[in-house]
Amino acid sequence: MAYRYVGDMRERTAGIVAELVQLKVDVIVSPNLESILAAKLATKTIPIVFLINQDPVAAGIVDNMAHPGGNITGISRLTRELTGKRLELLMEMIPGISRVGILWDANDKSQVLKDFETKARTLKLHLHPMEVRGPTPDLERAFQFAIKERVSAFIIIRDPLFLDYTRQIADLAIKHRLPSISEGSEFVDAGCLVSYSTNLVENSKRAAVYVDKILKGAKAGDLPVEQPTRFDLIVNNKTAKTLGIKIPNSILVRADKVIE
């Protein structure tokens, strides 16, 4: 088994994918849009299994969810499709909220910011991008920007750049008394307030099932792209108390996990 990690050095993506193709691996598995697109360009024969946040049709990975064709299939986490729900949860937790920050990697060329801006407008929320750049993100500057713009809460994008800084993000959120909602449970486990996302463990298990089927002879293009049916709402009530926020019972009773 060959592992390659791009992290926040996106410029290495094409080279790393080329290495895997040269090794003639049996299957390429990736949770990153850029590496999936690079793999799609690099090989038409090695099966590719993806786990992505985006709509794979809109992202140009496959033409059809039921019959992806070619050498590619995988799991769509529906992360972006849950954007509106996350904003609604913030509004439920913080009545009267109007200004929301979004912590995002400015080097990300996907539609993530546009998706949030569109949803925010429909809910009459003002979105303020808390822009950072890798490889060492200046998170303090992003939070200072949020305070200057008088945001009442912020959203954390599940970006590879931030996964190594979950604790720092949580500490800064508490320091600046900013409630947050994230696209992944890692941030809530580290001390952020709330997350709403698909179950990442279940997603990974389903991807492993696809790899097993392919290794046993199935063609990737014949396997339909799966979409999750389970979504986890996780609340860090300890952080809520630290921030002086009372989480509504309407949210607590729906939570799959409450951290006390």
Tell me: the pLDDT tens digits for 109-140?
A: 667 788 888 889 999 999 999 999 877 889 99
State mean pLDDT over 142-160. Answer: 94
Q: Kindly report the number of other CB atoms within 10 A of residue 58's CB atom.
A: 9
Q: How far apart are the first and last CA of the chain?
A: 39
pLDDT band at 49 (very low <50, low <70, confident <90, very high): very high
Using an 8 Å Cβ cutoff, are 221 and 73 in contact?
A: yes
Torsion of CA 60, 8, 131, 57, to 10 degrees: 10
- Identify which of 189, 118, 124, 123 has the alpha carbon closest to the alpha carbon of residue 156: 189
Using an 8 Å Cβ cutoff, are 178 and 198 in contact?
A: no
Using an 8 Å Cβ cutoff, are 117 and 186 in contact?
A: no
Q: Which of 7-16, 18-27, 229-238 has the lowest mean pLDDT?
A: 7-16
State the pLDDT at residue 6: 63
State the pLDDT at residue 4: 66
CA 135 to chain centroid, in Å, comes to: 18
CA 33 to chain centroid, in Å, comes to: 11
Q: Which domains does the chain have, with CATH numbers?
A: 10-77+199-230 (3.40.50.2300), 80-198+232-259 (3.40.50.2300)
Tell me: the pLDDT tens digits for 84-93?
A: 899 999 999 9
Give the Cα separation of 216 and 101 in Å (integer): 47
pTM of the entire predicted model: 0.82
Q: Express as a percent the part of the chain with pLDDT over 90.
A: 63
| pLDDT reading at 8 higher than 70 | no
pLDDT band at 146 (very low <50, low <70, confident <90, very high): very high
Using an 8 Å Cβ cutoff, are 94 and 225 in contact?
A: no
**161 burial via Cβ count (<10 Å: 0-12, 13-18, 19+):** buried
State the pLDDT at residue 202: 87
- Identify which of 192, 201, 123 has the alpha carbon closest to the alpha carbon of residue 156: 192
Give the Cα separation of 143 and 183 in Å (integer): 18
| pLDDT reading at 17 higher than 70 | yes
State the pLDDT at residue 168: 96
Tell me: the pLDDT tens digits for 174-226?
A: 999 999 999 989 999 999 999 999 888 888 899 999 999 999 999 999 999 99
How confident is the prediction for the chain on average, in pLDDT?
A: 90
Sign of torsion over alpha carbons 225, 29, 16, 9: positive
